[in-house]
Structure 1
Amino acid sequence: MEQIEQQQSTSAERRSGQRHSAVLLLGKVCGDVPGVCLVHNISANGLMARFVDVPVVGEAIRIEVRGLPPVSGTVRWVRGKKAGVQFDAPQPYQNIFSSENEDGTIPRPPRFPVTLAAEVRLGDRKFASELIDVSAGGAKLVADDLVQPGLAGHIVIRPMGTALFGTICWVKDGRFGFRFVSPLPIDTLAAIVAAR
């Protein structure tokens, strides 16, 4: 009985502080091989997320989410694909809700560097390209072919054969941004990142 009360007390202490449930933020697990997670709730002291590659209790981890730099912490519990991470130091988690960073830029979800062959299809035009980074909302590609903002179409990522529909949103120095029609599901994003 005493042990149960002690566990409940410890659990309450860990969960003290304001939390925001169901924020559903894309998270980037930083490391030599980046990983993907979906943050369900966050506070100044930690977060709970669903992981594609599930960490283990006691593991040191760094996670980046919109509005915060990569944050270091320790995995405190794991249940199925979900895990709780305690930050090494309190974080200004309110920044994830800001529409503007302190430097005036717009906070955006983490991007994942990749190097994957892709085929771009815009109307009746088709050309080879290279995918150089991806997020849930879009991708950055390189191509010698002339493209212009506003053109709609899709990209096919090789060798996976995954087709992603969207619109070219910017063009600069032989690179262009491609905004997806709808955000990628976490498992699709994780598969693209893993194929890198």
Structure 2
Amino acid sequence: MADRASQTIFVMSAGLPWPHDAHASDTLGALDDVALYQQGEPRPCAIRRIASGGAMIRLRDAPLSGAEVALELATGQRAAATVEWARGEEAAIRFRQPIDMVALLNRKLVAQTAERRRMPRVELRCHVGLRWGGSLAAATLRNISATGIQVEGDGLPATDTFVSIFIDGLVIPSGEVVWKQGRLAGIELMEELRWSSLMPWIRTQARG
């Protein structure tokens, strides 16, 4: 892509965004830059994953477990949090109060110019149907962005396979499997998903 798309993942499920099964592809590329406040002093950091309950961040000299901090979000909110754990340049923080993920996504979109506005990568779970040739497979969506999806399931098609994709409530273009690892696969869409169609669907999914 011409403009290094952010790989920050917006996790729409309830809970904390540091799963044990995070795929390596989740960590590659540029991330959203924000500020972490500790004892009133701002420090630059980047968000790897964020959910209503907390965030995984990257920064030099991560604060120790138990430290009281605050993360300044794109909405202008400064969310008070506690450091759950820190390893090297990565730390997990738990918010004292849940944040509004739909509002955060909206602010992310508004901050972009209209002609370049696109959805970031959003993690949520729903059923996905895949069809290629005479084959069919049922899978679970792991995350979705303007340009692709990540799915999990058995019997997924091989790399370089062109597939039709079916997700309830969302018109989604066909795509090509660009990587596969075990039960996971990444599919690049043949056409970009517009934020104006994707955002209402995400709001519906977030309401459960």
Q: Using structure 1 for the length normalisation, give the TM-score.
A: 0.47
Larger Rg: 1
